[in-house]
Amino acid sequence: MSDIIVPEVGESITEGILAEWKIESGAVVDVDDPLFVLETDKITLDVPSEQAGRVAIKIEAGETVKIGQVVGSIDTSVAPPPSDEGEADEGPPKEIPAGLPQAAAKIEAASGLAPSVRRLVVEHGLDARKIAGTGKGGRITKADVLGHLAERPKDGAEKPLPATAPPEKDTQDDGRQTRVPMSMIRQRIAERMVIAQQSAAILTTFNELDMSRVIELRRRHQESFVAKQGIKLGFMSFFVKAVVEALKAVPEVNAQIDGTEIVYNNFYDIGVAVSTEKGLVVPVVRGADKLSFAGIEQAIADLAQKARDRKLSLDDISGGTFTISNGGIYGNMMSTPILNPPQSGVLGMHAIKKRPVVVDDAIEIRPMMFVALSYDHRLIDGKEAVTFLKKVIECIEDPERTLMEF
């Protein structure tokens, strides 16, 4: 028997919420199968199983748990299902354990059901009771699940069966209003936003830039870039490169206040804000000044995928020196981004819109973007802020001369 404990996720994190169990009590798991979702004040992550065997849940979803607390156990004497559904042991299905819901019981009874098949059932929110098993002893195979998906009406999606009932004790609904507790991440975001506003003299400077040459550059080089690098060339890598050049030109924006001292950072770890279903997180692209365009694009893609999969570590979101926030992906035209303490600056990108502009005394239609720099006025004056933005604009509007390396 092996205990399931809440893992350490960072020195400053002492507790969290066991937000969701990914499996039923009584289910048989393999090593690295996801067990539960841990939500802390900084990150949300799936906690995988370190052992194979039958799970017994001791702490229900929705409860606050301490780091190191035992939340369940695994009976390691019970073998997990075979990894290949085609190599299932012969014999009748297992006896259905008492107390399990019928759907989970059927999965449990289908001893030949592989982890890959279980994932298909869970990912598509299928009711296992409706899937006819054609394997030995009525076991459900991958082909059975795919066949069931193919026959299912497009508008008849089945709702997933929750591993455990969601906690309802803290939800209040009188018909006119519904009250639900804030997630720890949402609480932390709220706390940090208030701290940022109260602890810094935040000012925002705006400007606009012409995206014509970057757009044309991407159009001309995209195919060869993808063929060579295996990843698309996006706008964000241009802005990361431009920000690094601007930080080198105006080091105060890459600095921070520590008591009565100014700490100048001689490295460039750039945070890129990513929106998730749980709230905003800012994973950090380390050593951005040393990365190629492809390296930046790959780093951002990897971090964004980790954020979506709830696999970001504390190290992934700590220690950035400057942040870029792209509200343009939601169609936002202009905003005042807020600082991510203890950083002294954040750049807000916005939607690209065609607008009439004067070019060499003639009116032309150009793809324009508003950009905003919010900064700590205790450290950065208007001159430095404007100089920083002008350097970013110079790099974006003339990328071949200032940025390109391919």
Q: Are 303 and 198 part of one and the same domain? A: yes
Q: Which pLDDT does position 187 carry in this prediction? A: 77
Q: Are 268 and 192 part of one and the same domain? A: yes
Q: Are 70 and 165 part of one and the same domain? A: no
Q: Please compute the mean of the pLDDT values over residues 50-61 and round it to a whole number.
A: 92
Each residue's pLDDT tens digit, 322-331: 999 998 888 8
Lowest mean per-residue pLDDT among 159-163, 254-258, 273-277: 159-163
Q: Are 196 and 301 part of one and the same domain? A: yes
My answer on whether omega of the bond before 342 falls inside 30° of 0, hence cis, is: yes
Q: Are 6 and 146 part of one and the same domain? A: no
Q: Reply yes or no on whether the pLDDT at 110 is more than 50.
A: no
Q: Are 365 and 220 part of one and the same domain? A: yes
Q: Which pLDDT does position 87 carry in this prediction? A: 42
Catalytic residue among 127, 269, 289, 377: 377
Higher pLDDT, 175 or 230: 230
Lowest mean per-residue pLDDT among 23-27, 96-100, 180-184, 229-233: 96-100
DSSP string, 222-258: HHHHHHHHSS---HHHHHHHHHHHHHHH-GGGGEEEE
Q: Which pLDDT does position 116 carry in this prediction? A: 60
Is the distance from CB of 288 to CB of 269 less than 8 angstroms? Answer: yes
pTM higher than 0.85, yes or no? Answer: no
Query: Residue 42 belongs to what domain range?
Result: 1-80
Q: Are 237 and 335 part of one and the same domain? A: yes
| The last residue of a domain, from among 38, 57, 80 | 80
Q: Which pLDDT does position 85 carry in this prediction? A: 44
Q: Are 158 and 216 part of one and the same domain? A: no
Q: Reply yes or no on whether the pLDDT at 75 is more than 70.
A: yes
* pLDDT band at residue 53 using 50, 70 and 90 as cut-offs: very high
Has 377 been annotated as catalytic?
yes
Q: Which pLDDT does position 90 carry in this prediction? A: 40
In the chain, the number of structural domains is 3
- Please state, in angstroms and rounded to a whole number, the distance separating the CA atoms of residues 357 and 362: 8
| The last residue of a domain, from among 60, 80, 100 | 80
| The last residue of a domain, from among 181, 205, 231 | 181
> 179 exposed, middle or buried (CB, 10 Å; 0-12, 13-18, 19+)?
exposed
Is the distance from CB of 133 to CB of 142 less than 8 angstroms? Answer: no
Q: Are 202 and 316 part of one and the same domain? A: yes
Q: Which pLDDT does position 93 carry in this prediction? A: 42
Q: Are 151 and 247 part of one and the same domain? A: no
Q: Are 50 and 124 part of one and the same domain? A: no
Q: Which pLDDT does position 10 carry in this prediction? A: 66
For residue 113, give both structure tokens: 């059901």
Which CATH number does the domain housing residue 31 bear? 2.40.50.100
Has 381 been annotated as catalytic?
yes
Max distance between CA atoms of the chain, in angstroms, equals 85
* pLDDT band at residue 108 using 50, 70 and 90 as cut-offs: very low
Q: Reply yes or no on whether the pLDDT at 393 is more than 50.
A: yes
**What does the chain come to in residues?**
406
Catalytic residue among 3, 32, 173, 381: 381
Name which of 337, 32, 82 is nearest 202 in CA terms.
337
Which CATH number does the domain housing residue 324 bear? 3.30.559.10
Amino acid at residue number 78:
V
